[in-house]
Structure 1
């Protein structure tokens, strides 16, 4: 995390212990949301490198994504000229708005990778929520893959890749789309198991492109 100022001397007194924090997508530069931080929330944001607000309704700290998995990974923090507001550049790990939208202000990301990050967050949630011992008839296919482990997940990726190739040679466009969708889903499960994000893939491809 690149923090622009080591000692920002933020003015928390001006607004009764709070400062507004504008969150901006570090990749697209679009505004994602506005929240409020007290000093403790600001310090936690810097410490854990995930945006953490102070909830004025619940009277407690809350880290964005703590229930959904759609965290805002902090890249940079800058104060305004009066040091009573901050701009945070972050990488969203899924939709920012509680409605499922990319931004609370209705903006589109202009970056389709956000869909895949959202899918990965959903898969990660399935993994997090699965019981240690499945009950009879427990029907989550995603959870069953995680229980089977990386060897099983890898085998499914191989199987789906072969089906994509077979569909491409003899089964037509509609079938190719279906098989690629299956492959991307299983790749997403594999990525969650190995702690790889779609942003990691994007950055690798950008570097290769030169």
Structure 2
């Protein structure tokens, strides 16, 4: 890893801090060569504080340290990407990130779909919403739909119609997300179980 600490003439390079699990950008700081070496040795992210004019290990007073997972240098050798496991909120204001964003896993469209399911259930309009109407019938009916969709995808898996197979897969996943909601869980809870098995 070759880093050009003298490119800007002040011995500092910007450091982008990213949660290794959620991929959320948590903060931006600066390192000099000494902070970089201390980070590698200690395993805790250490910056050079421009306001205090000294090394500063994140969380040294709050306890909200950033455990080092990985470091990469960009193509120009003048910016560091630090992947971390945060212990608590990162920003000094008490928020997860310095951009006031919540640090949570994002599964792209599946996360949006969970939000849509949440809103349909909260609205409770069973006349115009399939989700609300299914929830109005109770958890047994939701579980039954998951079972029906599971059987249908098994049937389609034995045929050669890829379009029907993928559509049944979408139906199964959609109804499973509803069952998770009905049980008080989210996709992130399932991913946590899978991650614990992987370790």
TM range (shorter): 0.5 to 0.7
Residue 206 of structure 1 deviates from its aligned partner by 3.4
After the TM superposition, list the runs of 4 or more consecutive aligned residues in structure 1 that deviate by more than 4 angstroms: 202-205
State the alpha-carbon separation in 1 of the partners of residues 45 and 52 from structure 2.
Answer: 17
Bigger Rg over Cα: 2
Structure 2 match to 1:13: 6
The one of the two structures with greater contact order (alpha-carbon pairs below 8 A, sep at least 6) is 1
Out of 184, 202, 207, the position equivalent to 2:196 is: 207
Residue 207 of structure 1 deviates from its aligned partner by 2.6
- Unpaired runs of 5+ residues, structure 2, are 106-190
Residue 105 of structure 1 deviates from its aligned partner by 1.2
Instruction: Indicate the SS of the match to 2:37.
Output: helix
Structure 2 match to 1:38: 32
State the alpha-carbon separation in 2 of the partners of residues 106 and 83 from structure 1.
Answer: 29
How big is each residue's C-alpha offset from its partner over 1:47-72, in whole Å with a ceiling of 9 and x where there is no partner? Answer: 10111000111110000000000000
Number of aligned residue pairs: give it: 113
State the alpha-carbon separation in 2 of the partners of residues 98 and 207 from structure 1.
Answer: 30
After superposition, residues 1-210 of structure 1 pair within 5 angstroms as 8-15=1-8, 16-110=10-104, 206-208=195-197
State the alpha-carbon separation in 2 of the partners of residues 203 and 43 from structure 1.
Answer: 33
| TM superposition score normalised by structure 2 | 0.53
